[in-house]
């Protein structure tokens, strides 16, 4: 009996240590950090629904406050254009730009500096895809003539630029052969619109397609019609209003972030699935730049 009691006491002590450690970690992550100085404000494109994006990025925001000892605020813009204008005009010092939007802003503001590129599940990029409802009789891109298409935003990489280029490459003029276009705004809303029959095909990125079910979108009722191309993930940029010391601080902090080591979780957000950041590779945008130039030439711009 004494031996059994000793084992139970040992087990109880071990469990107490584990519980105390877990509670201590939870307290460290959730308690308000001591911060001072002006806030570091970072703007985000509405790639996902603003409420979803803000909620899922909250652990990263709190971690950055502890790392920088500065207040950190994330703002999800109303549109891609609104985010770009805020960065260009100096209303925002920092913004996280999708790749096509990054190219557009960089053409206007050569002094804009890319600081870090997002990693999702450890990857630095993903594929654009054209989706159709699972019940659709469309079996090829050529059969999209006379159909309706959903886009996200005119500055979206996988929700506008790559779908249109893919249609053209397969003999479908996106302005003449497609009978109607609908702008959903975010990728999650595009998937909802496709599922609810507002369009016959839609362009998004594979990450949204694979994880949108966690946001209540019934992606199992959709299928991939075609892969539109590969693109890097969004890049955190410093605009003209960013101070040199703040650029350095944010860059170093982002590159030091690793979700498993920093937060004890494999990724940040069940839909976002952000795992960390890496130094930007500007050559990753070369193909997109050529696609953009070709599209602009075809449209006479």
The phi, psi pair for 115, rounded to 5°, reads -105, -45
**Residue 12: predicted pLDDT:** 61
Per residue in 230-278, pLDDT (tens digit) is 999 999 999 999 999 999 999 999 999 999 999 999 999 988 899 999 9
3-state secondary structure of 181: strand
Residue 58: other Cβ atoms inside 10 A: 13
Give the integer Cα–Cα distance in Å for 35 and 14: 35
**Residue 5: predicted pLDDT:** 58
For residue 291, give both structure tokens: 């696609």
Q: Please calculate the CA angle 220-221-224 and round it to the nearest 5 degrees.
A: 80
Give the burial string for 79-98 (b: 16+ CB within 10 Å, else e): ebeebbebbbeebbbbbbbb
For residue 271, give both structure tokens: 């839909």
Q: Are 105 and 88 in contact (CB under 8 A)?
A: yes
Nearest to 156 by CA among 108, 204, 223: 204
**Residue 210: predicted pLDDT:** 86
Sheet with strand 180-183: strands edge to edge: 180-183, 148-151, 201-205, 125-133, 222-232
Distance between start and end Cα atoms, the chain = 87
Q: pTM for this one?
A: 0.85
Give the integer Cα–Cα distance in Å for 261 and 257: 8
Q: Which positions of the chain have pLDDT values less than 70?
A: 1-33, 300-301
Nearest to 182 by CA among 148, 216, 143: 148
For residue 191, give both structure tokens: 């998937």
Give the integer Cα–Cα distance in Å for 231 and 98: 9
């Amino acid at each position: 009996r004494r031996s059994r009691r000793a084992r139970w006491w040992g087990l109880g002590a071990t469990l107490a240590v584990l519980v105390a450690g877990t509670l201590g970690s939870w307290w460290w992550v959730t308690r308000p950090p001591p911060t001072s100085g002006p806030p570091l404000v970072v703007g985000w494109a509405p790639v996902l629904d603003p409420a979803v994006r803000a909620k899922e990025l909250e652990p990263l925001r709190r971690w950055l406050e502890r790392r920088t000892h500065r207040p950190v605020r994330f703002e999800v813009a109303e549109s891609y254009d609104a985010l770009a204008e805020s960065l260009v005009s100096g209303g925002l010092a920092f913004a996280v730009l999708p790749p096509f939007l990054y190219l557009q802003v960089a053409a206007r503001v050569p002094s804009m500096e890319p600081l870090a590129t997002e990693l999702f599940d450890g990857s630095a990029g993903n594929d654009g895809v054209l989706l159709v409802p699972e019940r659709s009789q469309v079996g090829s891109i050529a059969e999209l003539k006379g159909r309706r298409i959903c886009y996200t935003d005119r500055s979206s990489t996988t929700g506008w630029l790559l779908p249109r280029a893919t249609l053209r490459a397969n003999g479908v003029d996106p302005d003449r052969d497609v009978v109607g276009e609908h702008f959903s705004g975010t990728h999650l809303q595009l998937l909802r619109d496709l599922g609810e029959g507002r369009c016959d095909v839609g362009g998004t990125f594979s990450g949204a397609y694979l994880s949108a079910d966690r946001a209540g979108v019934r992606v199992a009722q959709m299928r991939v019609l075609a892969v539109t191309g590969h693109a890097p993930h969004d890049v955190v940029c410093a605009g003209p209003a960013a101070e040199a010391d703040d650029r350095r601080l944010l860059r170093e902090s982002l590159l030091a972030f690793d979700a498993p080591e920093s937060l004890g979780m494999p990724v940040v957000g069940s839909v976002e699935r952000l795992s960390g950041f890496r130094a930007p590779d500007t050559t990753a945008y070369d193909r997109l730049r050529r696609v953009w130039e070709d599209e602009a030439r075809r449209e006479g711009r």
